[in-house]
Chains A and B, each alone.
Chain A
Amino acid sequence: MTATTAIGLAAEVREGRRKAAEVVEQYVAAIEAREPELHAFNLVLADEARAAAAAVDAAVGRGLDPGPLAGVPIALKDNLCTRGIPTTCSSQILAGWRPPYDATVVARLRDAGAVVVGKTNLDEFAMGSSTENSAFGPTRNPHDHTRVPGGSSGGSAAAVAAGFAPLALGSDTGGSIRQPAALCGVVGMKPTYGLVSRYGLVAFASSLDQIGPFASTVADAAALLEVIGGHDPADSTSIDRPPPRLLPTLGDGVGGLRVGVVRELTDGIDADVLDRLHQAADALGAAGAQVGEASVPAAVYGLSAYYLIAPAEASSNLSRYDGVRYGLRVPGEDVTAMYEATRAKGFGPEVKRRIMLGTYALSAGYYDAYYGQAQRVRTLIIRDFEAAYRDFDVLLAPTAPTTAFRLGAKTDDPLAMYLSDVCTIPSNLAGDPAISVPFGSGADGLPVGVQVLAPALGEEVLFRVAAVLEGAAP
C-alpha cells in the first residue's frame, strides 16, 4: 500500500522507499486518463516533471535530503510565473508569453523537492467564480461534468479532486481558492495577507490577492503553506516573519476554543448547505469548543465594496497589457490605436467588464462616491471583525451559498455570478486567513464546504479547527 497524501509520499521518497520517478509516472498516467474530459490544465509538464523527479531521486541516492515535499507532484495555477514556461492567465493577451523569472513560491517549491506537473486553468486573470471565463475553455467539475468546478482557481481545485496531483496552488482575491475547493470537495486555504510572497503572481487586485494551498487533507495543506510562507524581500507587502509552523500543533484539538457562527453570512444560503454548517458547528461543540453566534454587521456590504475595490485595482494593474513589452500586439496607426486594438482583441468579456467598472469607479466625479466609499466600508468590516474576535477565537461560515452549479447557468448575469463570493469576500477585505474544509454533500450529492475564519496571522488555530472538522466530516 503506497501513500496518497503529500506528506506520506514525501516520507516514502525521502526515506528511499519509493522513487519520485515512479510517483510522477503514476500521476501523469492519471492525468492522461481523465484530463481530456476535465480540462484542468492549460499545460501539462510531463517531461519537466520527469526531469525534476530524477533530480530528487539522484539527491536521495547521494544521501541528500531533497526537502519536505520530496517528489510530491503539484499543479500551479497558470497566473504564477514559471521561468521559460508559458504563463497565460488563461488570456489571449498573454498567449505565448514565457516569463523571464520564477515566482517566489515556485522557487520555494523546487527547493522543497516538489515536482510541478502542470499549469492549471483559471478564469481569465482570476476574474470569475466558475472558470468559464478562461480564453481556453472551461474546466469541468470532477464530481459531475455538467457542473462548474468554481473559480477562479477551478483548474487547481479540479486537479486535486481528480487525483492529478496531491497538491496545487491557487490565488484568492475574493474567494478564488476557497469557493472552488468547496465545489470540488477538497481543502483550500487563503493565508493572511502578506504571509505568502506575491512576487511572480500576476497581479489582479494587489491589496487583496494572496497565494494559497489546495490539498486533499488539512495536514497536506498545512505542509504546503509551511513551504511557501514566510518573508520575501522581493515583495514589499510581505510580512517580516519566519515561515509558519503548523504541523506540530495540528492535532491539538479545539478544547476551550470559542467558535462563532457568523450570522450575516448565513443569509441567502441554500438550506442543505446551512444544514452542513450547523452540523459542523455541533461537531466542534462535541469536540470541546464553546460555540455561539457571532455578528459582523458590515459584512453585508462586503460584496458591493469588493466589486468596486477589486475592479478599481484591476483596471490599474491591467493597464500594463498594452502591446509594448510582452504578449499580444495588434498593430495600429499610432500608439493609442495600437493600445485600444490590442486590449480589445486580447481581453475577454469579463476582464473588459471589470476594467470598465474599475475605471469608472476611479474616474473624476465618481472616485469618492464609489472607490473612496468602498475603502471606508472596508474599514468598517475590519472593525467589525476585530470586535467579533474579542468574543471568539475563530469564526464559522459557509464557503459558498450553493453546491456546484451547471455550466452556463450564470454566464449571462455577472451579478448572479458575483454572489458566489459573498461568504469569502469579507476575509480578503480584512486581510485575514480562512480555510474551506469539505463537510459532506448537499441534497444533490455534490460536495459542500465549511469555512473557518481567523484573525490575521491566526493560521495555527485555523488549521487546528480545520483538522477537527475534517475528522468529523460526514
Chain B
Amino acid sequence: MPSPISRHDVAHVARLARLALTDEELELFTVQLGAVLAHAADVAALDTAGVAPTAHPLPMVNVLRGDEPGPSLDRDEVLAQAPAAEDGRFRVPRILGEAP
C-alpha cells in the first residue's frame, strides 16, 4: 500500500507548523505519520452522510461574563518571564524589511 503522505507533504506541513526539521526527522515522520494515517483510513472511509460534526462535548455557546472591570495579570510579572522585553513590551526580531 502506498504511504498516504509523501516526504514532500511532510516538508510542507513542517513549514506550516513553523518547525525546522532535520533530514532524519523528515524521513522518520514520513514513515510514522503514514502509519497513523493508514490506521485512520477506517474513519476516513466511514459513511457519515447526514451526521453533524461534534467540536465540543458540551451544549454550551457564547459564555460571557459581566462587563465589569477586574484585576489582570501584573505586567511586570508577565514581562519578567519573557525571553526579551523592552519599554513594557515583548521584544522580537525584525518582522519587516529594512526601513528606507
Interchain CB contact under 8 A, B83 and A353:
no
| Complex contact A379–B51 (CB within 8 A) | yes
Contact assessment for B32 and A414 in the assembled complex, using a CB-CB cutoff below 8 Å: yes
Is B44 at the interface (CB under 8 A from chain A)? yes
Inter-chain contact A376/B48, CB cutoff 8 Å: yes
Q: Give chain A nearest CB distance to B88 CB in angstroms.
A: 13
Size bracket, chain A contacts? 35 or more
Interfacial residues of chain B within 69-100, with CB under 8 A of chain A in the complex: 73-74, 77-78, 81-84, 90, 92-95
A399 in the interface, Cβ–Cβ < 8 Å? no
CA distance A380 to B10 in the complex (A): 30
**Cβ 8 A contact of A324, one of B13, B29, B74, B83:** B83
Complex CA–CA separation, A97 to B21 (angstroms) = 25
Give complex CA distance A337, B93 in Å: 9
Q: Would you give the shortest CB distance from A361 to chain B, in whole angstroms?
A: 9
Question: Complex formed: what's the CA distance from A376 to B83 in Å?
Answer: 41
Q: Let me know if A377 and B43 touch, CB within 8 A.
A: yes
Contact pattern, B 47-58, Cβ under 8 Å of A = 1, otherwise 0 = 010011111111
Judge whether A347 and B81 touch: CB under 8 Å. no
Within 8 A of B (CB), among A327-371: 327-329, 331-341, 343-344, 347, 349, 352-353, 355-357, 359-360, 363, 369-370
**Shortest beta-carbon distance from B64 to chain A in Å:** 8
Which single member of B16, B20, B39 contacts A359 (CB below 8 Å)?
B16
Give min CB distance, A144 to chain B, whole Å.
28
A344/B21 in contact, CB under 8 A: yes
Q: Are B94 and A343 in contact (CB under 8 A)?
A: no
Expressed in whole angstroms, the Cα–Cα distance for A203 and B77 within the complex equals 21
Contact with A100, one of B5, B44, B78 (Cβ below 8 angstroms): B78
Is A380 a contact partner of B56 (Cβ separation < 8 A)?
no
The answer on a CB contact under 8 Å between A357 and B36 is yes
Chain B residues lying within 8 Å of A429, measured Cβ to Cβ, are: 57
Closest to B28 in A: A349
B42 part of interface (Cβ distance < 8 Å): yes
State the Cβ distance, B91 to closest chain A Cβ, in Å: 9
Chain B residues numbered 56-70 whose CB sits less than 8 Å from any CB in chain A: 56-58, 60, 63, 65
Is B9 located at the chain interface by the 8 A CB criterion? yes
Q: Determine if B36 and A325 form an interchain contact, defined as CB atoms under 8 angstroms apart.
A: no
Q: In the bound complex, what is the Cα–Cα distance between A309 and B60 (angstroms)? A: 19
Query: From residue B52, how far is it (CB to closest CB) to chain A in Å?
Result: 6
Identify the stretch in A283-291, A299-307, A434-442 within 8 Å (CB) of chain B at 4 or more residues: A299-307
Which of B17, B36, B90 meets A414, CB within 8 Å? B36
Within 8 A of A (CB), among B11-52: 13-14, 16-21, 25, 29, 32-33, 35-37, 39-40, 42-44, 46, 48, 51-52
Q: How far is the CA of A328 from the CA of B25 in the complex (A)?
A: 21
Asked if A352 and B21 sit within 8 Å, CB to CB, the answer is yes
Assuming the contacts A353-B29, A356-B33, A378-B53, asked whether A335 and B95 have C-beta atoms less than 8 A apart, the reply is yes
Q: Are A374 and B65 in contact (CB under 8 A)?
A: no
Contacts of B5 in A (CB 8 A): 360
**Chain B residues, Cβ within 8 Å of A418:** 36
A233 is contacted by which of B16, B20, B65 (Cβ under 8 Å)? B65
Tell whether, in the assembled complex, residue B36 and residue A415 are in contact, meaning their CB atoms are under 8 Å apart.
yes
A98 adjacent to chain B (CB < 8 Å): yes
Contact in complex: B58, A359 (CB < 8 Å):
no
- What is the bound-complex CA distance between A334 and B48, given in angstroms? 45
| A162 adjacent to chain B (CB < 8 Å) | no
Q: Beyond A340-B18, A370-B44, A430-B57, is A352–B36 a contact (Cβ under 8 Å)? A: no
- Known contacts being A344-B20, A347-B19, is A97 close to B29, with CB within 8 Å? no
| Complex CA distance for A98 and B82, rounded to whole angstroms | 10
Residues on B with beta carbons closer than 8 Å to the beta carbon of A338: 92-93
Q: When the two chains form their complex, are residues B52 and A379 in contact, meaning their CB atoms are under 8 A apart?
A: yes
Complex A-B: 29 CB contacts under 8 Å: A98-B81, A100-B74, A101-B73, A233-B65, A236-B63, A303-B39, A304-B39, A304-B43, A325-B78, A326-B82, A326-B83, A331-B93, A334-B95, A335-B93, A343-B17, A344-B21, A352-B21, A352-B25, A352-B29, A353-B33, A356-B17, A356-B19, A356-B29, A357-B36, A363-B13, A373-B44, A374-B43, A380-B48, A382-B54
Query: Apart from A237-B60, A343-B18, A376-B51, what 17 extra A-B contacts exist at CB < 8 Å?
Result: A100-B78, A100-B81, A207-B56, A239-B58, A324-B82, A324-B92, A332-B93, A333-B93, A335-B92, A344-B20, A355-B19, A356-B29, A357-B37, A370-B43, A370-B44, A376-B48, A376-B53
Binding site for A on B (CB under 8 A): 5, 9-10, 13-14, 16-21, 25, 29, 32-33, 35-37, 39-40, 42-44, 46, 48, 51-58, 60, 63, 65, 73-74, 77-78, 81-84, 90, 92-95
The 7 closest A-B pairs by CB, nearest first: A431-B57, A375-B53, A329-B83, A340-B20, A376-B48, A344-B20, A304-B43
